[in-house]
Chains A and B, each alone.
Chain A
Amino acid sequence: MSIITRSPFLFRINTGSCNGCDVELATTAMIPRYDVERLGCRYTGSPKHADILLVTGPITARSKSYLVEVLDELPNPFVVVAVGTCPTSCGIFRDSYAIEGPLDKYVQVDVNVPGCPPRPQAIIDGVAKALEIWKQKIRNQK
């Protein structure tokens, strides 16, 4: 059964991020040198395929409903990774009237990757940690 934990599908959602973290996130999979595919990962275009959800951005009022919808659509078991300072603590946008974050109001966050933006290595490390947690969740489900 441990073999299936080597095939995580990733889905990323931008909840009003400044795109800094998204650039770092895209580079981890796309650009030579930083390769999440060697962990067996693959970016998918639909949350229904995903095992690991990567969230960037403080949750803005406008994007909140989309985030809640995506969280509903994830099949069990799934792992949530907060990429960057924004989803963990809302960062510099903390007291804004337009912010409905942080992320752990809506779902139990499994891995936090702090940084503004975090380095690609840190994001890959976060995904690797998420894999361990995912393995635990599959074992508990059985």
Chain B
Amino acid sequence: MSANIINFLIFPGGVFAVLFALILVSLERILVARLQGRIGPVFYQNIIDIVKLFNKETLIPKDAKDFVFKFAPLFGFSGMLVLIYFLPIPGVYSGVKGDYDLIILIYFLALPAISYIIGGGASSSPYAAISVSRELKLMLAYESAFIIIAITIALYVGDGKGVFSLKKIIDYQLQHGAFLFDWKMWPAFVAFLIVLLAALEKPPFEIAHHNDADIMDGYLIEYSGAPLALFEITSALKLLVLSIVFQIFFWPSTLSGDLFINFLWFILKTIILLGFIGITHATFASYRADQGFKFLLKVPLVLAIISLILVLLSIKGLI
């Protein structure tokens, strides 16, 4: 097998990514349980869930669009698998080298949400319809902030000319220090954390699904068996992808030239980010839908634009 196939199927994509992402989700559940004074599940709980769901009966509603309903989960799942193969992991994996990966990243990151929208829309449930409209608005709200953050970083790295290569972004930070410790990028960093929570739909942005008192399970309500398992894997992979994106954008520092130590450092950084997500999950209640959209349209967008202005000023040499 050539190196590309191994990278796609075993490490860092494919088997490793799916298992690691599922363990990350379980760790987050354990952290939330511990913060609430409970014991929580075992660390491989979500893997068992997936195995069980693949063994369960799959029900298809009478009114659903059969083909779309069954194959919608594959959109998001395959998109995330490709993206993990595509993205470089600082110090561990060089990714697929290209000059415009950042733009491809922005496109692919929307795929899970699009697959939720297609799947929920095809499932002919009123709850799914409400949830799909919320998911659509949520996506519109956080994508704009994410794109501004990405453009800010591209301008900063290229010193006025946009550099859309993730490899060059990592190299620039390895030479000049991580953006996490650069005060001009701090507003963008806070905006990125908010966008991260909104993209993963963790509280305080648990608006479109897993919101049992409001719209039951949202777009997942009619799913069961294997398609549901694929959706669960997709949302777990999205967590992994966003944590890699966080490390590329803000914290790509490596400890040494040794691949194994860098790999452990990558896992540690991922778990630090997971700790932040777990603490917000255990601390905050969810916004009501309209409050959530208002907050997303105001706060992260303004913070990202502040960073953009600061970066533009520093390029002109004014600060």
Contact = CB atoms under 8 A, between A and B. Distances in A.
A42 B32 CA distance: 13
A44 B168 CA distance: 44
A105 interface: no
Contacts of A42: 49
Q: Which interface class (under 10, 10 to 19, 20 to 34, 35 or more) fits B?
A: 20 to 34
A33 interface: yes
B221 A48 contact: yes
B39 A35 contact: yes
Contacts of A45: 209-212, 215-218, 220-221
B45 interface: yes
A40 interface: yes
Interface string B219-239: 011111100100000000000
A43 B211 CA distance: 11
Interface of A: 3-4, 6-7, 9, 32-33, 35, 37-38, 40, 42-46, 48-49, 51, 73, 75-76
B202 interface: no
Given A45-B216, A46-B217, A32 B55 contact: no
Contacts of A37: 29, 33, 38-41
Contacts, number: 79
Contact of A4 (B39, B52, B209, B216): B52
Nearest to A42: B49
Given A3-B51, A49-B220, 16 more contacts: A4-B52, A7-B51, A7-B52, A9-B49, A32-B37, A38-B40, A38-B41, A45-B211, A45-B215, A46-B216, A48-B223, A48-B224, A49-B228, A75-B57, A75-B58, A75-B225
B149 to A, nearest CB: 32
Contacts of B58: 75
Give 9 closest A-B pairs by Cβ, nearest first. Answer: A32-B37, A45-B217, A45-B216, A35-B38, A75-B57, A4-B52, A48-B224, A45-B212, A7-B48
- Max chain B C-beta neighbours (<10 A), residue from A6, A32, A46: A46
